[in-house]
A and B are shown apart, each in its own frame.
Chain A
């Protein structure tokens, strides 16, 4: 499918958008790569049915595109817009409002290290700096081999098991220590999946003798993490 970009009048737009529609943009993905599979198309049809307007399905379709492609270059945004019959600008506007949509190419693995306040006072910056040192990059950067992108994240809603990080908008890794980070990085480099960790409620420890779920690996929130209050 050829992206249905608006005409050359877009050149008159000022200031110039980051992804100028209508210009021959450098493309990362071919039409074949962009095209939805039958299964994906069926899912998009479900998304559309879930909302009274076509706009409603935008966020879910962007998620689908990002899961498929890894990030959202202009042609992917255009593809979503075409699929839903919406203007490019509208979909682009949504994609840029939310931080989890990647508008720039990222590494195969994105590490979102939480340094928000609870994680901060429980050593979140120690973890971040340890990862930066191990990978030889600064936050916001991607390793030269394209494997890891390191980012500083805002509170991820797991403050009871701080410090923690999230792997590529997916699994949480709780109660980090530098040793646990080293093991994680090696596992990720080897291409191993990150197991889901179920954080045990302290009251369950007392009343149920451990985690309440029998179908997930458990971690407890009562490890003593390193303490650091620096933010630099």
Chain B
């Protein structure tokens, strides 16, 4: 791109972040209790809209659109735009909102903090979203492993019902919404929006082919919108502070506050709330720097499916969609994992491959088989039985997985492998035996096959 200036300047795009005041998780003790939440202005946005008419339904959608809020669940799609895709109200057809709290992407743990520390903000956002889209039922999907947090959120939901923020005629207005908490039972794929809907319907959660899109045919075959927990928690903030305030935080194309989940080899891992557009170097600094005074070698910027960056590139990048795209990765869920110089990138990539193999729903052949072969190949490289030629085989496998499946899990599985090999090839090669085509046993199973087949098909990896 010769005429657009590079975004990889190393300059923070988060403005005056050092004096940033948190709004999603403001520093207030016991904010998860409804009395404390109300005493601090909680449910004020809902009252302003539903009871006092601050916005009508389209007005609220337009406000969210104007705020520039982009989904925090991974894809980063404009939330206001998504809401406006809902078809006109048909009294014959129920409509649904699904709040996506599956949060299973490795490296991501931000929604859990909202569940625990500020569940009412999310509930308020859910009710506002239901108001904007004239929705009477919301399913809040929480991964089954979050058992304690499901209990905790259910308690908050019960409190909200008791206070009239949920249920019939909310705050006396002609508007009713129910919120049903749905517990998952341990399947990463349920985070994918169509799979999530299948799971709510009580089925094996195989993702659906799109189109039709959920706004047309969603959960129980009805118009549906799916938003992430953090996305919906941003809505009351937008109503309270105004779209202009929200849009003025961080980069213009990707504004707002965001929860960064910082993990890996840092001194103070955890969830940090800052504007979008923080430089990765600044985040490393606030997280107390690398553990044991080591050097950081690589960063996974947004959960396991975002390609890892070398520190050289990461040090010039900021956490927003455009910059990370230029850096060769993506924002994902803003769960950053820092890896220090001692990390074995081969083992690391192998573990990611294991995850995707384990979590593939098995519906599409390239994904079901591909993730297995990728894991198998990486395992043999990691164990010292691989050959340099396997690296090209892996890249070839990635080619065959990307963009050929029902959902994006196959792409998510291929990217870290492809970019791991491209960016850390030296490390991979160091673990490989050099490829010799002269009668070498390349199958790695010790059975003495020559050249082809490189891996004997059959048998589950």
Q: Which residues of A contact B (CB under 8 A)?
A: 50-53, 55-60, 62-63, 93-94, 97-101, 112, 115-118, 120-122, 154-162, 166, 169-172, 196, 198-204, 207-208, 212-215, 221-222, 224, 227, 229-232
Q: Which residues of A contact B147 (CB under 8 A)?
A: 169-171
| Contact for A202 among B106, B272, B304, CB less than 8 A | B272
Q: How far is the CB of B178 from chain A (nearest CB, A)?
A: 8
* Beta-carbon contact of A202 and B107 below 8 Å: no
Interface check B144, CB cutoff 8 A: yes
Known contacts A53-B202, A59-B202, A94-B202; is-contact A155 B32 (Cβ 8 Å): no
Cβ-closest 3 pairs across A and B: A98-B185, A100-B186, A55-B202
| Contact for B220 among A53, A93, A118, A215, CB less than 8 A | A53
List 20 additional A-B contacts (Cβ < 8 Å) besides A100-B184, A224-B267: A58-B202, A97-B187, A98-B184, A98-B187, A99-B187, A101-B186, A116-B351, A117-B300, A118-B106, A118-B264, A154-B188, A155-B104, A155-B106, A157-B112, A159-B269, A169-B145, A198-B116, A200-B270, A221-B270, A229-B343
* Beta-carbon contact of B262 and A160 below 8 Å: yes
Known contacts A62-B185, A157-B104, A158-B109; is-contact A166 B272 (Cβ 8 Å): no
Q: Which of B321-348 contact A (CB under 8 A)?
A: 335, 337, 339, 342-344, 347-348
Q: Which residues of B contact A162 (CB under 8 A)?
A: 263, 269
Interface check B28, CB cutoff 8 A: yes
Known contacts A160-B263, A202-B270; is-contact A154 B358 (Cβ 8 Å): yes
* Beta-carbon contact of A154 and B272 below 8 Å: no
* Beta-carbon contact of A63 and B355 below 8 Å: no
Q: Which residues of A contact B369 (CB under 8 A)?
A: none
Closest to A93 in B: B204
| Contact for A157 among B143, B265, B269, B270, CB less than 8 A | B143
* Beta-carbon contact of B351 and A117 below 8 Å: yes
Q: Which of B241-278 contact A (CB under 8 A)?
A: 261-265, 267-273
Report the Cα distance A227→B29, complex, angstroms: 33
Report the Cα distance A117→B267, complex, angstroms: 17
Give the secondary structure class of A's interface.
loop
Q: How far is the CB of A103 from chain B (nearest CB, A)?
A: 12
Report the Cα distance A88→B361, complex, angstroms: 21
Report the Cα distance A58→B354, complex, angstroms: 29
Interface check B240, CB cutoff 8 A: no
| Contact for A227 among B180, B220, B335, B342, CB less than 8 A | B342
Q: Which residues of A contact B203 (CB under 8 A)?
A: 55, 93-94
Report the Cα distance A214→B342, complex, angstroms: 39
Report the Cα distance A171→B116, complex, angstroms: 13
* Beta-carbon contact of A202 and B350 below 8 Å: no
Most chain B CB within 10 A, of A117, A162, A208, A224, is at A117
Q: Which residues of A contact B187 (CB under 8 A)?
A: 97-99
* Beta-carbon contact of B261 and A120 below 8 Å: no
Known contacts A155-B106, A157-B145, A222-B268; is-contact A116 B355 (Cβ 8 Å): yes
Closest to A170 in B: B147
Q: Which of B138-179 contact A (CB under 8 A)?
A: 143-148
Interface check B105, CB cutoff 8 A: yes
Report the Cα distance A232→B146, complex, angstroms: 28
Known contacts A56-B201, A157-B112, A207-B27; is-contact A121 B273 (Cβ 8 Å): no
Q: How large is the interface on B (under 10, 10 to 19, 20 to 34, 35 or more residues)?
A: 35 or more
Report the Cα distance A122→B352, complex, angstroms: 15
* Beta-carbon contact of B145 and A56 below 8 Å: no
Report the Cα distance A120→B145, complex, angstroms: 19
Enumerate 30 A-B pairs (CB-CB under 8 Å) in ascending A order: A50-B180, A51-B202, A51-B220, A56-B201, A57-B202, A94-B203, A97-B204, A98-B186, A100-B184, A112-B145, A117-B351, A121-B265, A154-B359, A155-B107, A155-B304, A155-B355, A157-B111, A158-B109, A159-B106, A160-B271, A171-B147, A196-B148, A201-B117, A202-B272, A212-B27, A213-B29, A215-B30, A224-B292, A230-B344, A231-B350
Interface check B205, CB cutoff 8 A: yes
Interface check B200, CB cutoff 8 A: yes
Q: Which residues of A contact B183 (CB under 8 A)?
A: 59-60, 63
Q: Which residues of B contact A196 (CB under 8 A)?
A: 148
Q: Which residues of B contact A212 (CB under 8 A)?
A: 27-31, 117
* Beta-carbon contact of A99 and B270 below 8 Å: no
| Contact for B272 among A98, A203, A215, CB less than 8 A | A203
Interface check B313, CB cutoff 8 A: no
Q: How far is the CB of B289 from chain A (nearest CB, A)?
A: 12
Closest to B181 in A: A50
Interface check B67, CB cutoff 8 A: no
Q: Which residues of A contact B113 (CB under 8 A)?
A: 201
Known contacts A51-B202, A155-B104; is-contact A224 B291 (Cβ 8 Å): yes
Q: Which of B197-228 contact A (CB under 8 A)?
A: 199-205, 220
* Beta-carbon contact of B202 and A203 below 8 Å: no
Interface check B295, CB cutoff 8 A: no
Q: Mark B31-51, 1 if CB is under 8 A from A, else 0.
A: 110000000000000000000
Q: Which residues of B contact A120 (CB under 8 A)?
A: 347-348, 351
Q: Which residues of B contact A230 (CB under 8 A)?
A: 344, 347
Interface check B382, CB cutoff 8 A: yes
Q: Which residues of A contact B272 (CB under 8 A)?
A: 201-203
Q: Which residues of B contact A155 (CB under 8 A)?
A: 104-108, 304, 355
Q: Which residues of B contact A172 (CB under 8 A)?
A: 148
Known contacts A117-B106, A156-B145, A201-B113; is-contact A101 B185 (Cβ 8 Å): yes
Report the Cα distance A48→B46, complex, angstroms: 29
Q: Which residues of B contact A97 (CB under 8 A)?
A: 187, 204-205
